[in-house]
């Protein structure tokens, strides 16, 4: 087993997919994934296709969902991301989603998830901080540092949301063409 650390974001799914496929051609097959950590087994070089999907599913629905991809090898669920692989073939079944409608729907689910997890950040900045007494927000109070951390995460969340939204719009544009 070999471990590699690499950072990819949701809007870089194509880059991550290409990186994994290039490593498979070198004989490294993905076996496990954790936060920015990929674990590979060393095998004979293969021409594999990797695909990802983002779903928020209960354990009961997960088994039914995985049955949809019986032609694929399920690797791992990481958060809401499902990782699949299979040997590349000459047919047009090398993608889980082979149309722009399905791809845009996946990014729409990501946008919804980001809105849900970002709500507490925006709530803090819009409602909580403006209504606090000014002495509670002064240095070196706890809320002074909390406000800085919240604003940093809010900016990162906003930038990530905009990048995801741009990818979503690009797929929506391809649908209408």
Q: Do 52 and 124 reside in the same domain of the chain?
A: no
Q: Structural domain tally of the chain?
A: 2
Residue 95, helix vs strand vs coil: coil
Q: What radius of gyration do the chain's Cα atoms show? A: 20
Assess if residue 140 is contained within a domain: yes
Distance CA 84, CA 48 (A): 10
Q: Do 112 and 171 reside in the same domain of the chain?
A: yes
Q: Do 113 and 153 reside in the same domain of the chain?
A: yes
What are the structure tokens assigned to 22, written together?
């290039």
Sign of CA dihedral 141, 143, 144, 145: positive
Assess if residue 52 is contained within a domain: yes
Q: Do 162 and 111 reside in the same domain of the chain?
A: yes
Strand partners, 42: 28
Instruction: Give the tens place of pLDDT for each residue, 133-149.
Output: 777 666 777 778 888 89
Amino acid 137: pLDDT: 65
Q: Do 119 and 59 reside in the same domain of the chain?
A: no
pTM of the model: 0.84
* Length in residues, the chain: 177
Distance CA 93, CA 8 (A): 25
Q: Do 28 and 74 reside in the same domain of the chain?
A: yes
% of the chain residues with pLDDT over 70: 95
CA 159-99-48 angle, 5° bins: 85
Assess if residue 105 is contained within a domain: yes
Q: How confident is the model at residue 158 (pLDDT cuts 50, 70, 90)?
A: very high
Between 100 and 118, the more confident residue is 118
Amino acid 124: pLDDT: 85
Distance CA 103, CA 96 (A): 9
Q: Do 113 and 151 reside in the same domain of the chain?
A: yes
What average pLDDT does this structure show over 3-27? 94
Q: Do 8 and 82 reside in the same domain of the chain?
A: yes
Q: How confident is the model at residue 63 (pLDDT cuts 50, 70, 90)?
A: confident
Which domain, by its residues, includes 71?
2-87
Residue 104, helix vs strand vs coil: helix
Q: Do 78 and 104 reside in the same domain of the chain?
A: no
Q: Do 113 and 44 reside in the same domain of the chain?
A: no
To the nearest whole number, what is the mean pLDDT of the chain?
89
Question: What region, left, alpha or beta, does residue 36 occupy, with left being phi > 0 and alpha being psi -120 to 50 degrees?
Answer: left
Q: How confident is the model at residue 93 (pLDDT cuts 50, 70, 90)?
A: low
* Location of structure tokens 């051609």: 25
What are the structure tokens assigned to 2, written together?
């070999």
Q: How confident is the model at residue 55 (pLDDT cuts 50, 70, 90)?
A: very high
**What order do you get walking across the sheet with 48-54 strand by strand?**
48-54, 81-87, 73-78
């Amino acid at each position: 087993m070999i471990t590699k650390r690499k950072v990819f974001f949701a809007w870089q799914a194509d880059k991550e997919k290409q990186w994994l496929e290039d490593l498979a051609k070198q004989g490294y097959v993905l076996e496990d994934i954790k936060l920015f950590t990929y674990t590979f087994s060393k095998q004979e070089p293969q021409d594999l296709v990797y695909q990802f999907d983002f779903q928020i599913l209960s354990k009961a629905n997960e088994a039914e969902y995985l049955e949809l991809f019986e032609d694929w090898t399920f690797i791992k669920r990481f958060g809401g991301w499902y990782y699949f692989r299979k040997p590349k073939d000459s047919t047009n079944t090398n993608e889980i989603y082979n149309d722009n409608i399905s791809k845009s729907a996946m990014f729409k689910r990501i946008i919804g998830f980001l809105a849900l997890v970002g709500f507490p950040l925006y709530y803090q900045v819009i409602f909580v901080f403006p209504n606090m007494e000014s002495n509670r927000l002064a240095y070196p109070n706890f809320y002074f540092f909390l406000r800085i951390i919240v604003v940093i995460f809010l900016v990162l969340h906003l930038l990530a949301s905009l990048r995801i939204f741009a990818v979503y719009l690009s797929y929506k544009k391809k649908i209408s063409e």
